[in-house]
Structure 1
């Protein structure tokens, strides 16, 4: 799926359809079930993308586990307000987990990077050995901080909106959530570019994530 199509599909499944379900369903089936149902398009779209792009790796596994965990939390919440508050706690939990991977010297951002490099032609064992070198390892830690920061910021934004609007502000939460996600995706992409440049300096390979293109 190319980037332009990906943006349109993201808009459709992460914002447009969930917002439509929430807006039209809250009066018919109640706030709780409308919110719960509105999460279904994003859930199935993410699973579909996972299977289609064959992300059977650390990145894909992390994505599916967090999706399933959040779905379980939502189902066990019982009412709309509790569900939204639990989602804030869930994001904080993800941020803590992400920070822990830095503390144990296994930054999850590094493994995300290894998976991306593998899909673009780099051998896992080679890239992992390279990324654990001191200078690159430090950059991988900061990359992981960005992932954790995204969860923290999402939690803060959702908490503020809950306090200000309550359950009725869920429509705004859908839009703000995706806006925050895209903003951090841009930051992560920019920082990833600097990591690539550093890899080029260390290896002398023009295209570090697909070295075979230089043959």
Structure 2
């Protein structure tokens, strides 16, 4: 499933929500169409959480984000308030993400630790390697990229809401996907660079031996 994640993300976070939004809003109203359009993403997120097979940091982040996001949507009460609440929540997530950089616990470093542990690597050893100054700095930049993405998307959504009102909903989905793809590519390069640094260390250690 790992290699198909980008395709599944596009289907469940982009394709299905847009289809449900456009085909259901005239029958059940804007607010309930927004709630219904989030169902595929919720189901997909639950499946990904189950496939992790253990309650690690990434799993806790996914399920917490899912629960809080769903509660915000359900308790909003109206289509317009739902959109504003999502903006506020995005700024809040951005603040938490930036805080992890300040306290030297970058979010994506712990995501990476969960991933390599699932691949069979020793978590404590990898954590020690990841906390080397140069590698830690890269993880901070990757996490900052995530923070910047959330702030940028939330700010664009504020403009969309003010300009288009309820109709900003589908435009927000499209823009989130486009910006998400772009910054995901940058993050992916960051992980490749970290792997390259670790490989160089292994080679240098081998030469010394």
Tell me if both proteins adopt one fold, taking TM over 0.5 as the criterion: yes
Partner residue, 1:15? 14
Aligned length: 204
Deviation at 1:103, TM superposition (A): 1.4
Partner residue, 2:133? 134
Deviation at 1:55, TM superposition (A): 5.5
Q: Per the alignment, do residues 152 and 32 of structure 1 end up closer, same or farther by CA in structure 2, a change over 3 Å counting?
A: same
- 1:164 paired with 2:163, answer yes
Secondary structure at 1:179 match in 2: helix
Deviations 1:150-204 (A, max 9, x none): 2112212222221221111322222221222222111100111111111112233
Gaps of 5+ in 2: 205-209
Deviation at 1:111, TM superposition (A): 0.5
Gaps of 5+ in 1: 206-215
Deviations 1:115-152 (A, max 9, x none): 12222232101001111122222222112111211211
2:139 & 2:52 partners in 1: Cα distance? Answer: 24
Secondary structure at 2:120 match in 1: coil
Native 8 Å contact 2:157 2:172 kept in 1: yes
Alignment RMSD, CA only?
1.6
TM-score (normalised: structure 2):
0.91
Native 8 Å contact 2:157 2:168 kept in 1: no
TM-score (normalised: structure 1):
0.88
> Post-superposition, which runs of at least 4 consecutive aligned residues in structure 1 deviate over 4 A?
none
Partner residue, 2:179? 180
1:170 & 1:107 partners in 2: Cα distance? Answer: 31
Secondary structure at 2:86 match in 1: helix
Higher mean C-alpha displacement, 47-56 vs 83-92: 47-56
2:136 & 2:168 partners in 1: Cα distance? Answer: 41
1:18 & 1:50 partners in 2: Cα distance? Answer: 20
Alignment of 1:90-129 (within 5 A): 90-129=89-128
Deviation at 1:32, TM superposition (A): 0.7
Native 8 Å contact 2:52 2:59 kept in 1: no
Secondary structure at 1:204 match in 2: helix
1:103 & 1:26 partners in 2: Cα distance? Answer: 43
Deviations 1:93-129 (A, max 9, x none): 0010011111112111111111122222321010011
Deviations 1:20-71 (A, max 9, x none): 1111111111111110111111011111122124353111211110111111
1:109 & 1:52 partners in 2: Cα distance? Answer: 19
Partner residue, 1:146? 145
Deviation at 1:86, TM superposition (A): 0.9
2:126 & 2:68 partners in 1: Cα distance? Answer: 30
Higher mean C-alpha displacement, 100-109 vs 7-16: 7-16
